[in-house]
Structure 1
Amino acid sequence: MGFLKSRAAADAAPVTTRQRGQAGEDRALHCLQAAGLRLVQRNYRTPGRGGGEIDLIMRDADGTLVFVEVRSRGRQGYGGAGGSIGAVKRARIVHAARHYLLRWPAPPPCRFDVVLIEATGLQWLRAAFDGDAQPG
């Protein structure tokens, strides 16, 4: 019977943070695609330590390249999902975007959007910050 208890406990284990994050990105991607944006790349990471990551890189109908940060929070504490995007996080996203754009001979217009996912719903913030982000 001990085997049955441990198996049941394993089945009831909470979802990992990575799996929750992936589910949030899936939800954000679905919302953005429904609004007419096209996926270019997902989870772009710069090489090396201390680099940045961009959750979603999308193309808007007007040709604008959209770098999207997706933040999920189950609770509103500590500023909720939006409160977790500080100056250092913004600077890392901008760094990763600049690295990504090195492959373009003539970069298109760009913007930085944020999708916040909380228990109350999803909020899409277009042009949430600009490319001049500096760590504080």
Structure 2
Amino acid sequence: MSLAIVQLSAATQASLTRPHAATLTTLRPDGTPHVTPVRFTFDAATSLVRVTTRARARKARNVAAGGPTAHVALCQADGFRWVTLEGRAAVTDDPARLAEAVRRYTVRYRAAPPAPPDLVVIEVAVDRVLSLNL
């Protein structure tokens, strides 16, 4: 997955560090949307979103089924301010990538994420940003 760096305003970057949840939209194999609340991290240096989850979770299965062209949208709202991050997604259980996802999550949310035995990370290479009032 190649990464292109997206430009964000300082206000948008600050918003993405606050401990808010977001919704992650993936596409089921039949093309219908699946929307679920998630906690996530955003790495501004690489424009990479990370979402930890279980391998058998619908969102992970949807991304895996989409193959290398799987696209997702993640939307974080705070009152009348919101930001949506869109991009190509992939699922990995690589130990180093999982460790980095857990580390970043723990910093952002001040607690470690759940650690089921089938933990994976959905990585999203953000290529489009939409926002309002940020």
Q: Give the alignment's TM-score, normalised by structure 2.
A: 0.30
Bigger Rg, which one: 1
Q: Which has the higher contact order (CA 8 A, sep 6+)?
A: 2
User: Going by fraction, where is helix more abundant, 1 or 2?
Assistant: 1
